[in-house]
Structure 1
Amino acid sequence: MTTIDYERLYINGDWTAPTTGERITVHSAATEVNIGSVPEAKEGDIDAAVAAARIAFDDPQGWAHWTPQRRGEALERFAAALEARGVDMARRVSQQNGMPVSLAEQFEAGFPPVLLRYYSELAAGGHEDVRQGMMGKQSLVLRGPIGVVAAIVPWNVPQAITFLKVAPALAAGCTVVLKPAPETVLDAFLMAEAALAAGLPAGVLNVVPAGREVGAYLVEHPGVDKVSFTGSTAAGRSIAAKCGQLLRPVTLELGGKSAAIVLDDADLGSSLESFFASTLLNNGQICWLGTRVLAPKSRYNEIVDTITDMASSLIIGDPLDAATQVGPLVSERQRQRVEGYIANGKNEGGRITSGGGRPANQGRGWYVEPTIFADVDRKATIAQEEIFGPVLSIIPYENDQDAVDVANDTEYGLGGSVWTADPERGAQFARRVRTGTIGVNGYSNDPFSPFGGIKSSGMGRELGPEGLMPFQQLKTIYLDKENSLS
């Protein structure tokens, strides 16, 4: 098999020799074989990338000082270059993390160009606001780019999450140092190829793949003005502490243990495609999935049977096969983590109704069967901790208030869904759930609307106009009477 190997890092608008010979090797989640490698960035490479981003931002004729329209033209070229590489991008992501290619085509190939165009248009809407003051004078409120952004992204939906940060940051006039996760670097380098082909100015976007220690060095770097991180709650707490000490703005999108609440009037059988997408998408490797399913006691056995039948019928296979619904997990380490939770769920009294092991027809690859637990206590480990795999816990509840109490009985607050025959009732119920986002009879992020969590699921928002604001800083000019603007 031909591997995809890069010898240089993308820094300062070109392929740059790394400071050491250390490398990151990538393996296929489905076959476990080596599929490529890239240089592993070290502290010296971070220094070079941040310096390039700093120079590009501080240049009085540079990116930050371009008109939004001119930046938009460059980002349109970037979007087109990504679209030209869409098929390859989807395949690379699927090979690396096991995402079914049909999903990768939507999330990893389709979403980034959409975000680039959306934020380019949004940023072109104006950066000045003249306000009439209370004392008869005026104020001019300006919105400018915040500076050099450290963007740190995970492996589960690498390109879509990258552009939750890169698209608004670049549109705002910031420059970016991107640290992709070691598990998914081949897609990040393909993105760098697109940036080079689009003619992004030197230093505007830099790609430095590395592990946690080097990521921590980037977070603390004195040349960085803003950090945007997506990943685990534990890592997020550490980053938040460091940014707090530095008084450095930070956006954190962290873990989740969201509830999929099935109300007593729901016809779940007619919504199984949407229910699957809200609970088991991407092999369970998405932070907002509703992995706690709350079912009324009056219909508990029926709902357990419906979800069990759904899970049992899912097509498990090669992530590059368009028919596959469930692929492998990203790594052996991740599979061991998920299998540990399955064992714990059984030890704590959960009853497996489907799955629980490895697929018999998959001799290689880091596969785990979609696993459904019934009779799960609301305080059980598998009902409280984020598993990040295809495991659902079905928890019984007495009435609507009890369901609200169970849904809110978690340290997380990122996603969720309500399932009902009455959408108005669902919307009213959703208002009572403490979470950053929630859907009625489905769940889907929308570029126009803010996404993010509360409690241990993070702070700040991405997407929508709210996703642009963290990359801008406000400046107020108080005008005297003679210089007031008409």
Structure 2
Amino acid sequence: MTLLPQRGSYIAGKWTDGDDAFAVENPADESHVADVAAAPVAEIERAIVEARRSFDAGVWADTPAPERARALRAFLDHIEGAHAALVATMVAEAGQPRVFAERAQFGAGLALSRDTIDLYLSMTHEETNPVPADELLRDGVRLSIRRHEPVGVVAAITPYNAAFLMGLQKIVPALMAGNSVVLRPSPLTPLSSLVFGAAAEAAGLPPGVLSVVLEPGPAGAELLTGHPAVDMVSFTGSTTVGRLILGQAAPTVKRVALELGGKSAQIYLPDAVGRAAAGAVAVVAATAGQACVAATRMLVPQENKDEVVEAVSRAYSAITVGPPADPSAGMGPVISAAQRDRCEHFVKLAVEHGGRVAHGGGRPEGLDRGYYFEPTVLDLPGNDNPAAREEIFGPVIGIIGYRDVDDAVRIANDSDYGLSGQVYGTDVAAATSVARRLRTGAVNVNTGMFSAYAPSGGYKQSGLGRERGPDGVRAFQEVKHLAIGELR
């Protein structure tokens, strides 16, 4: 199995090595994947300074958008050419099934990126402001213009669960908007993000426009979120870390875009209860529940709850857990021993607070190496159970009964989070009516959608701002008003 060859950071157009290294582990079998060079904090600061220099010099920001688009298409062409090694790297460092790396990350990521370029080019970035004519004349203004300009230097910090895809979601719109970017991937899955440095080099992006920095701890990330030369932080990860980033960015009043945790609900109306088992499988298949949008609270009519718990338990018992090399495996490991411990902890808490383990709840037999946890079904007495309140980030679903539709909406909205949601019903109008009442950034009614043209993001403690869609492009832009008149 051939992996991507790079093992150090890409800073200001050059590959760099550090004095120290850290290991990347395969969570499927706890084997050693590679040692990578850790960028010293001084080198990460150099990446920031060079990003500032490149932006202020206008070497990329002042390049016409069609030329930026051509360069980024070449950037993506290089990534596409690294297909086999890149997918193998994603499988090795994250322990995820090959189909997820192949389709949900590589295929979907490149399609998303190419569509994002087209979306940016279709948008208007300078337009006449709709000021009433009498107001213009009164103030001596002949033209009122609203411009959308790049923010400046963007620090992009990505998570482990879909490092390649999350990197593209930040890099491509930020660069298309004319920003300079410093990317810091998760130390658990840093290897796949090095393809961005290789692609920047191959496409001839000016030095400093895109750097990729690797580190085993938080020191560089903290520098990125607090450095006065950084204008914006775009972060995907836990709400706990998101709160820290807000505090670190506050002294310099940076723009902050956060896609954080979730505890999404999937609501089954009485006429769609038969669909519940399939919806439950989608929570754990491929990702082992390690997705911020995973709908890990299943809400069903109280009178149907027992049959749903039984159906979901049957469906989960049919899922084969195993390493990516096993073609029959429908679910792989979680990322680390700590994450497996977290799953065990919340299952225990669920039972202590009146819940019942209907299926799973522990480590699967026969898998002595690797961070595996069984697909787990919890029969929860109510939404106050700890397993219904906290994001577990593992293959654990909780099933809760509701009295009527109003009760279902109340339960779904009774959360600190609001990232995503699902509603199922054969009466589409009724299901859509429920969806409109949910306090969450996205709701899927009987379907799902992942598109460069549609936004995602959270309400409440699930984040700030949006990724993807026109709103995701605007997130990387400032708004300037120009009032133009004749000199009197």
Pick closer, same or farther for the CA change 1:479–1:14 going to 2, 3 Å.
same
Is the contact made by 2:4 and 2:89 (CA closer than 8 Å) also made in structure 1? no
Specify every segment of 5 or more residues in structure 1 that has no aligned partner in the other structure, as ranges. Answer: none
Q: Distance in 2 between matches of 1:421 and 1:2?
A: 48
Specify every segment of 5 or more residues in structure 2 that has no aligned partner in the other structure, as ranges. Answer: 137-141
Please give the residue correspondences for 1:43-442 in structure 2 after superposition, counting only pairs within 5 Å.
43-60=41-58, 62-125=59-122, 126-134=124-132, 135-136=135-136, 137-210=142-215, 211-269=217-275, 272-273=277-278, 275-278=280-283, 281-442=286-447
Match of 1:451 among 452, 456, 460: 456
Q: CA RMSD in A?
A: 2.0
Pick closer, same or farther for the CA change 1:13–1:115 going to 2, 3 Å.
farther
Q: Distance in 1 between matches of 2:348 and 2:477?
A: 47
State the identity as a percent: 38
Q: Distance in 2 between matches of 1:468 and 1:143?
A: 10
SS of corresponding position for 1:79: helix
Quick check: 424-433 or 316-325, which moved more? 316-325
Pick closer, same or farther for the CA change 1:435–1:2 going to 2, 3 Å.
closer
Task: Give CA-to-partner distance per residue, 1:226-250, whole Å, 9 cap, x none.
Answer: 1101111111111112323321101
SS of corresponding position for 1:265: helix
Code of the residue aligned with 2:12 in structure 1: it is N
Q: Distance in 2 between matches of 1:347 and 1:120?
A: 51
The offset of 1:90, in angstroms, is 2.2
Q: Distance in 2 between matches of 1:273 and 1:304?
A: 12
Match of 2:36 among 18, 35, 38: 38
The offset of 1:42, in angstroms, is 2.8
In the comparison of the two structures, how many residue pairs are matched? 479
Code of the residue aligned with 1:477 in structure 2: it is L
The offset of 1:274, in angstroms, is 5.0
Q: Distance in 1 between matches of 2:341 and 2:486?
A: 69
Is the contact made by 2:148 and 2:480 (CA closer than 8 Å) also made in structure 1? yes
Is the contact made by 1:5 and 1:38 (CA closer than 8 Å) also made in structure 2? no
Is the contact made by 1:376 and 1:383 (CA closer than 8 Å) also made in structure 2? no
Task: Give CA-to-partner distance per residue, 1:370-416, whole Å, 9 cap, x none.
Answer: 00011432101001000000000101111111111111111100011
SS of corresponding position for 1:133: coil
Is the contact made by 2:8 and 2:39 (CA closer than 8 Å) also made in structure 1? no
The offset of 1:482, in angstroms, is 7.8
SS of corresponding position for 2:89: helix
Number of the residue aligned with 2:8? 8
Is the contact made by 1:151 and 1:176 (CA closer than 8 Å) also made in structure 2? yes
The offset of 1:310, in angstroms, is 1.1
Code of the residue aligned with 1:150 in structure 2: it is A
The offset of 1:89, in angstroms, is 1.9
The offset of 1:4, in angstroms, is 7.0
Code of the residue aligned with 1:333 in structure 2: it is A
Q: Distance in 2 between matches of 1:22 and 1:156?
A: 25
Q: Distance in 1 between matches of 2:302 and 2:277?
A: 20
Q: Distance in 1 between matches of 2:10 and 2:262?
A: 33
Task: Give CA-to-partner distance per residue, 1:147-179, whole Å, 9 cap, x none.
Answer: 110000110111111111111001101110000
TM-score by length of 1: 0.94
The offset of 1:202, in angstroms, is 1.3
Is the contact made by 2:112 and 2:451 (CA closer than 8 Å) also made in structure 1? no
Q: Distance in 2 between matches of 1:85 and 1:268?
A: 42
The offset of 1:216, in angstroms, is 0.9
TM-score by length of 2: 0.94
Pick closer, same or farther for the CA change 1:230–1:241 going to 2, 3 Å.
same
